[in-house]
């Protein structure tokens, strides 16, 4: 966030890199390029930090942390603790903490700080004026290379009566000052699941509606099932395979008609939160003037080097159609700087991209899914360790979940992994590191770790692979030992 009033600087000739959008992709590109001495302009129409800082990753993780605390307090007896019955949630204090954290982190990427780094920061709506120029606030900025990193916005689903009834999305849910007593969440992707669980733990009676048979789309089925069980244990009323037909207002209530197969039902709530995905921000940019090919629904077309159809213009982050990895904006920002300013040939597809849904338990994944590997005719073998076998998971009361490592059959080469655990987002990093540096399961099995830690699960899964190696090796070793005895 900026401290007003801000005066846009005078343009400094032709910029080496002009960036539209100051979310993670735009910010990392601006900082990296200016560190290398490039003349950089950064244009933002709203708040520095973009969705991630203001309406996404940061506020959601802050609220999730507090909701976990309330859950733990309710579970205190399980850990030998005692807290007064009927714990009251101080919702305004929860949201105040969210705002405090957001404000603290925003200082890191403030306009003043960026300016001090040599970045020219402009506030206003950016619009291409031609293949090498952009207008903002009445100024014309010229560029050698440009990066479009304008992100995406929440989808507004065409549900009859929804607009009239009013609803929340991630863009305004963190502005709530009162916790809704009854909350309907439409959408069982990461955003819907994370927020449904958080609000349920903060005291809302949550109904979660997902139009598919499982949560989290393409995630492995047993991971999605564990999540479904966990959400149900939190008291969330789950409706899978269910459509929201229409919404209407009755007095102070919002009433939604649902249908699952042919069975109709009705729910009455105080608020509706919609989390059914995003659409890329391409409107108003006048991309036609720059010769940048795009699609209103899917975003800007880029190749593996993040180049658009205008050789001067790159795109990264949620605004891109192809190669869209929502969790890789920072890497994409760096790739653009290398490819745009230094004749680099860095490919987005070369990145190892882990991701995580921060529910409790967390669900993290990296690399290939088994179904994907089979589709590509890659033979796969999976090694699984359940978290309830792990000493530290038992001592921490965090026994739910598993570590699954997928390897190319007959080798220790890691193709992918799914981790469901309380701290899966941290555990997955070791596997990502192994994949990006070419380490195999032999190496992971040999890593010494402090005892007890939950990453023991990774070692045990890797050891299971080592033990499963073809009988031939063991027979050969046996023969060597026998020969040794005879000597
Ligand atoms: C609730 C929620 C939780 C999430 N949690 C996570 C998480 O835990 N981990 C994770 O990896 N991802 C998470 N995400 C996704 C993540 O927030 C996005 O993938 C990420 O913010 C995309 O970054 P970006 O730089 O592409 O775009 P954005 O962050 O959307 O930034 C784009 C910026 O461009 C600006 N802009 C747009 N058009 C113009 C214009 N014409 N002129 C000037 N400026 C313009 C916008 O105002 C915005 O500031 C979450 C998302 C949500 C909604």
pLDDT in tens, 199-228: 999 999 999 999 999 999 889 999 999 999
Distance CA 199, CA 222 (A): 24
Instruction: Say if residue 322's pLDDT is above 80.
Output: no
Domains of the chain: 14-154+279-350 (3.50.50.60), 162-276 (3.50.50.60), 361-468 (3.30.390.30)
- Ligand 1 centroid to Cα of residue 23, in Å, is 5
Residue 385 clears pLDDT 90, i.e. is over it: yes
| Six-digit token string for 44 | 């933002």
Q: What is the pLDDT of residue 217?
A: 87
pLDDT tens digits for 449-472?
999 999 999 999 999 999 987 766
- Judge whether residue 327 has pLDDT over 60: yes
State if residue 44 touches ligand 1 by the CB under 6 angstroms criterion.
yes
Atom of ligand 1 nearest to the CA of 278: 53
pLDDT in tens, 261-285: 989 999 999 999 999 999 999 999 9
Q: Which residues contact 264 (CB under 8 A, 6 or more apart)?
A: 245, 257, 258
Q: From the CB of 137, is ligand 1 less than 6 Å away? A: no
Q: Residue 326: is its pLDDT beyond 60?
A: no
pLDDT for the residue 1: 52
Residues forming a β-bridge with 454: none
* Ligand 1 site, residue 354, Cβ cutoff 6 A: no
Q: What is the pLDDT of residues 405-431, one digit of tens each?
A: 999 999 999 999 999 999 999 999 999
Ligand 1 atom 5, closest CA? 57
The tokens describing 471, both together, are: 């009988």
Q: Of 142, 132, 152, 114, which Cα lies nearest the Cα of 27?
A: 114
Give, using CA atoms, the residue closest to atom 6 of ligand 1: 57
Q: Which residues of 218-248 are buried (b: 16+ CB within 10 A; e: fewer)?
A: ebbeebbebbbebbeebebbbbbebebeebe
Percent of the chain having pLDDT more than 90? 87
Instruction: Note whether 123 and 6 are within 8 A (CB).
Output: yes
Q: Is the CB of 317 under 6 A from ligand 1?
A: yes
Q: Name the more confident of 233 and 87.
A: 233
Q: Which residues contact 358 (CB under 8 A, 6 or more apart)?
A: 60, 61, 64, 190, 194, 425
Report whether residue 187 contacts ligand 1, using a CB cutoff of 6 Å: no
From 27, 42, 52, the mutation candidate for ligand 1 (largest count of ligand atoms within 8 A of CB) is: 52
- C-alpha span between 177 and 197 (Å, rounded): 18
58 CA distance to ligand 1 centroid (A)?
11
Determine whether the shortest distance from the Cβ of 277 to ligand 1 is under 6 A.
no
For strands 263-269 and 271-274, give the pairing.
unpaired
Mean pLDDT of all residues in 362-382: 95
Helix intervals (H) in 301-455: 329-341, 370-375, 391-395, 424-437, 441-446
- Residue 356: pLDDT over 70: yes
Cα–Cα dist 141/119, whole Å:
14
Q: Using DSSP, state whether 315 is helix, strand or coil.
A: strand
Phi-psi region for residue 138, left (φ > 0), alpha (ψ -120 to 50) or beta?
left
Asked if the model's pLDDT at residue 140 lies above 90, the reply is: yes
Distance 456 CA to ligand 1 centre (A): 35
Q: Tell me the per-residue pLDDT of 155-164, one tens digit each, with 9 for 90 and over.
A: 999 999 999 9
Residue 369 clears pLDDT 60, i.e. is over it: yes
Query: Is residue 181 pLDDT above 70, yes or no?
Result: yes
Cα–ligand 1 centroid distance for 51 (angstroms): 3
Q: What is the pLDDT of residue 477?
A: 78
Contact 410, 404 (CB under 8 A): no
Whole-number pLDDT of residue 482: 85
Check if 284 has its Cβ closer than 6 Å to any atom of ligand 1: yes
Residue 283 beta carbon below 6 angstroms from any ligand 1 atom: no
- What pLDDT was estimated at residue 4? 64
Whether the pTM exceeds 0.75: the reply is yes
Checking phi first, is residue 261 left (phi over 0); if not, alpha (psi -120 to 50) or beta?
A: left
Token digits for 105?
A: 């982190």
For 94, the 3-state DSSP assignment is helix
- Each residue's pLDDT tens digit, 34-55: 999 999 999 999 999 999 999 9
Contacts of 306 by beta carbon, 8 Å cutoff, 6+ apart = 314, 315, 316, 320, 323, 332, 335, 336, 339, 348
Testing ligand 1's pocket by substitution, the residue of 2, 23, 196 carrying the most ligand atoms inside 8 A of its CB is 23
If one counts every other C-beta atom within 10 angstroms of the C-beta of residue 9, the result is 13
Indicate the pLDDT class of residue 484, thresholds 50, 70 and 90.
confident
């Amino acid at each position: 966030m900026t401290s007003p009033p801000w005066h846009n600087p005078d343009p400094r000739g032709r910029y080496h890199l002009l960036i539209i959008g100051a979310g993670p992709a735009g910010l990392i590109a601006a900082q990296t390029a200016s560190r290398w001495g490039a003349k950089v302009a950064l244009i933002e129409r709203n708040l520095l930090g973009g969705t991630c800082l203001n309406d996404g990753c940061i506020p959601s993780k802050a609220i999730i942390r507090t909701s976990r605390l309330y859950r733990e307090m309710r579970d205190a007896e399980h850990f030998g603790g005692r807290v007064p019955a009927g714990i009251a949630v101080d919702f305004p204090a929860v949201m105040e903490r969210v705002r405090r954290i957001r404000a603290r982190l925003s200082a890191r990427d403030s306009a003043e700080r960026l300016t001090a780094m040599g970045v020219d920061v402009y506030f206003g709506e950016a619009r291409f004026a031609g293949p090498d120029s952009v207008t903002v606030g009445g100024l014309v900025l010229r560029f050698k290379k440009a990066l479009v990193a304008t992100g995406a916005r929440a989808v507004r689903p065409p549900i009859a009566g929804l607009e009239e009834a009013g609803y929340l999305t991630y863009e305004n849910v963190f502005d709530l000052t009162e916790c809704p007593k009854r909350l309907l969440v439409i959408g069982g992707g990461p955003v819907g699941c994370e927020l449904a669980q958080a609000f349920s733990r903060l005291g809302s009676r949550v109904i979660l509606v997902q139009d598919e048979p499982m949560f989290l789309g393409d995630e492995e089925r047993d991971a999605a099932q564990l999540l479904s069980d966990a959400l149900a244990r939190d008291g969330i009323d789950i409706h899978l395979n269910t459509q929201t037909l229409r919404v209407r207002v009755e007095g102070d209530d919002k009433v939604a008609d649902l249908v699952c197969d042919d069975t109709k039902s009705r729910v009455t709530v105080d608020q509706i939160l919609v989390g059914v995905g995003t659409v890329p921000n391409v409107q108003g940019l006048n991309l036609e003037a720059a010769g940048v090919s795009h699609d209103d629904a899917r975003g800007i077309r880029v190749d593996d080097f993040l180049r658009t159809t205008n050789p001067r213009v790159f795109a990264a982050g949620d605004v891109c159609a192809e190669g869209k990895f929502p969790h890789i904006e920072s890497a994409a920002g760096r790739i653009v700087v290398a490819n745009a300013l230094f004749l680099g040939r860095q490919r987005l597809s070369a990145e190892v991209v882990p991701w995580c849904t921060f529910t409790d338990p967390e669900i993290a994944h990296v690399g290939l899914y088994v179904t994907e590997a089979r589709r590509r005719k890659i033979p796969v073998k999976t090694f699984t360790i359940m978290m309830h076998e792990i000493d530290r998971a038992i001592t921490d009361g965090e026994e739910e979940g598993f570590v699954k490592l997928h390897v190319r059959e007959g080798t220790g080469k890691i193709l992918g992994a799914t981790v469901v655990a309380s701290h899966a987002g941290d555990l997955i990093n070791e596997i990502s590191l192994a994949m990006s540096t070419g380490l195999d399961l032999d190496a992971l099995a040999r890593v010494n770790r402090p005892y007890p830690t939950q990453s023991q699960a990774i070692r045990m899964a890797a050891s299971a692979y080592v033990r499963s190696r073809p009988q031939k090796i063991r027979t050969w070793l046996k023969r060597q030992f026998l020969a040794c005895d005879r000597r």
